[in-house]
Amino acid sequence: MSEQQLLPAPPRKDYLRYIPLGGLDEVGMNCSIIECNGSMLMIDCGITFPETGDFGVDIVLPDWRYVLDNLDRLDGILLTHGHEDHIGGAPFFLQEVDVPVYGGRLTLGMLNRKLQSHGLGNQVDLIEVEPGEQLEIGPFVVEFVHINHSVPNAMSIALHTPLGTAIFTGDWKIDQTPMYEPMTDLPRFSALGDQGVLALFGDSTNSEVPGFTRSERAVFQGFAEVFDEAPGRIIVAQFSSNLYRVAGLLELAHRNRRKVVLMGTSLVKNSNIARDLGFLPFPPEDVLINPEEMEKYPDKRLLIISTGSQAEPRSSLARMAFGDHRHVDVQKGDTIVLSARQIPGNEYGINSMVNALYKRGATIITADDKVIHGSGHAKQEELKLMLNLTRPTHLIPVHGEYRMRMGHANLGKDVGIEHTHLIENGDCLQFTEAGVEVIGRVHHGRMLVDGRNVGDTEDFQLRDRRKLASAGIVVAMGIVDRESGSLIAPPAVLQRGVVGSAESDDVLEQAAQAAWNGVQELSRAARGDISEVKEAIRTHIRRYISKELGRRPVVIPVVHEL
């Protein structure tokens, strides 16, 4: 985590500043600040998920200390779409800040569900916007442009400023045969290009992948083949926000006289929100049934749509795989479709889950077998088309690891974009009439959410957690004579993860003796201080184990007076 550096005073003339707080050199935690002539907007406020070494941490937030230090200039939050890596951090931020939030109807519906769970229901000013709508916020004229993505109601944001127009694409793709929505509004992007675009801040996720993204209609046709061939139950695992895919599956189920069960809390809630807001053309009500009703129908009449495509612990599909699901016992004849990309880092868990499903006799279908998934992010040809339509003076690749952003920058050069900027989280990129440059850095980093607590790595004592995982724990329990200040006997020592059971007794006996000797070496006055006795026990046990085993476990002394 970097230390905050003071930025130069804003120019007296028109200026535009872009400060990413997350989303660069990673896929997730998207959060940016755009500032113009003293007014500030936050674009998206997402989360990411902890790495293996973040023991016990639930989610990770961007560190928005810079925003809190300049709160008097923040005029609102603009949301591009409803994915967790774009809206998941907003409830935590809005617990500290009272500021209006602008976004599409479904995006705000998904956010509002999160706000209610944080005790913020009806306490945040949520302002719905439609594609094509323009709003005046301070010196900005904010315009929302319809795009295709893997969640409905996704929009790019064009900010019209005194220096020119800045476009934030958000996550997007071009689907030329979309289902249930229009295609990306290419004419509007072209018109913006004709008017002149100062800068484009573009999604870089698929910049290394040639061609065009697959249409959702092609995925629909791929699933139609699955329905034709499956002899028994069909179980589809997908992301809970991929609601157009849910709609397509419901349509196919209705055509094939299958009943549908939705499994997974987030999937059910998102589907209900989308249905209530009119974003999903749900089939007749009798298509959907409760899990308890499945036993009334033969297997060939059932479709189960589930969470768990990434083998998340306790997700529906993971519990099915390991025989721990209350309603579904996977068996021979079941066809299980993994309709999602494999997120890097999840390979081990997914492989374990798939192996377990195979052992139960199921047939597994992935994107390698049939056309059952399409990316929500633009590939190379779409990225080049967007750049040719908008013709920005400056390209700033965002949303992606460094190699992805570098790939996007190279595509920009291929189509004639002269000015590309590969900056880092925390950089302040300033635009003025005189030119564009990084003028400094602000505080940025990662805030960890552990249960109900939010803080940095020191707040959660992750160092100790990592030590517990790598070197184990020792607990030493001793009793001190209150009058003499001496231990009545060597402490009882327990350990976990330090030494194997075969040699445990001998090592613990010697460790206890080392602690006894250490306390005996203290002065009479020091032995009268419980904290001194505890420290002597801790130090001497750790020193002995380090010398004998080469390990440095966490040692916890527990001392009582008698």
Q: How many CA atoms lie within 13 A of 544 on its CB side?
A: 20
Q: pLDDT class for 458, splitting at 50, 70, 90?
A: low
- Active-site residue, from 203, 325, 334, 427: 203
Q: What is the pLDDT of residues 476-532, one digit of tens each?
A: 898 888 777 678 888 888 888 787 766 677 888 888 899 888 888 888 777 778 888
**146 among annotated binding-site residues:** no
pLDDT at 5: 57
Residue 539: both structure tokens together: 């130090």
**276 among annotated binding-site residues:** no
Average of per-residue pLDDT across 344-365 = 91
Query: Which run of H or E residues covers position 234?
Result: strand 234-237
Sequence-separated (6 or more) residues with CB below 8 Å from residue 496? 472, 473
On whether both 261 and 306 belong to a single domain, the answer is yes
**153 among annotated binding-site residues:** no
Verify whether residue 276 is a known catalytic residue: no
Structural domain includes residue 250: yes
On whether both 198 and 294 belong to a single domain, the answer is no
Closest CA to 417 of 379, 390, 437: 390
Closest CA to 43 of 131, 144, 114, 183: 144
Structural domain includes residue 7: no
pLDDT value at 417 more than 80 = yes
pLDDT at 459: 53
**149 among annotated binding-site residues:** yes
Verify whether residue 377 is a known catalytic residue: yes
Phi-psi region of 425 (alpha: psi -120 to 50; beta: other; left: phi over 0): beta
On whether both 402 and 524 belong to a single domain, the answer is no
Structural domain includes residue 461: no
Closest CA to 388 of 152, 205, 193, 258: 193
Q: What is the pLDDT of residues 198-233, one digit of tens each?
A: 999 999 999 999 999 999 999 999 999 999 999 999
Residue 464: both structure tokens together: 């100790």
pLDDT at 3: 47
Mean pLDDT of the chain: 90
Find residue 45's DSSP bridge partners: 31
On whether both 24 and 169 belong to a single domain, the answer is yes
On whether both 146 and 92 belong to a single domain, the answer is yes
Structural domain includes residue 424: yes
Q: In whole angstroms, what is the distance from residue 62 CA to residue 49 CA?
A: 11
Last residue of a domain, one of 456, 490, 522: 456
On whether both 165 and 228 belong to a single domain, the answer is no
pLDDT value at 179 more than 50 = yes
pLDDT at 190: 98
- Active-site residue, from 377, 394, 408, 421: 377
On whether both 62 and 195 belong to a single domain, the answer is yes
| Residue 296: how many other CB atoms lie within 10 Å | 10
Residue 377: both structure tokens together: 């992010």
Q: What is the pLDDT of residues 399-408, one digit of tens each?
A: 999 999 999 9
Last residue of a domain, one of 311, 331, 365: 365
**376 among annotated binding-site residues:** yes
On whether both 235 and 272 belong to a single domain, the answer is yes
* CATH number, domain with residue 432: 3.60.15.10
pLDDT value at 57 more than 80 = no
- Phi/psi at 535 (5° precision): -65, -35
* CATH number, domain with residue 479: 3.10.20.580
Query: Which run of H or E residues covers position 60?
Result: strand 59-62
**531 among annotated binding-site residues:** no
Average of per-residue pLDDT across 36-63 = 82
Structural domain includes residue 311: yes
pLDDT at 451: 56
On whether both 21 and 98 belong to a single domain, the answer is yes
Q: How far is CA 124 from CA 97, 120, 135, in A?
A: 10, 7, 19
Q: What is the pLDDT of residues 426-455, one digit of tens each?
A: 999 999 999 999 999 998 888 888 655 566
Q: pLDDT class for 468, splitting at 50, 70, 90?
A: low
Number of domains in the chain: 3
On whether both 428 and 554 belong to a single domain, the answer is no
**81 among annotated binding-site residues:** yes
pLDDT at 525: 76
**286 among annotated binding-site residues:** no
Q: pLDDT class for 154, splitting at 50, 70, 90?
A: very high
* CATH number, domain with residue 335: 3.40.50.10710
Q: pLDDT class for 109, splitting at 50, 70, 90?
A: very high
**Residue matched to tokens 């130069």:** 8
Average of per-residue pLDDT across 130-137 = 97
Structural domain includes residue 5: no
| Residue 298: how many other CB atoms lie within 10 Å | 8
On whether both 229 and 196 belong to a single domain, the answer is no
Q: Is the dihedral of CA 167, 170, 176, 180 positive or negative?
A: negative
Structural domain includes residue 465: no
Last residue of a domain, one of 456, 483, 507: 456
Structural domain includes residue 344: yes
Identify residue 257 by its one-letter amino acid code: R
Tell me the whole-structure pTM to 2 decimals.
0.83
Domain of 276 in residue numbering reads as 216-365
On whether both 270 and 299 belong to a single domain, the answer is yes
4-8, 175-179, 417-421, 445-449, range with the lowest pLDDT: 4-8
Q: How far is CA 352 from CA 280, 307, 335, 347, in A?
A: 34, 16, 18, 9
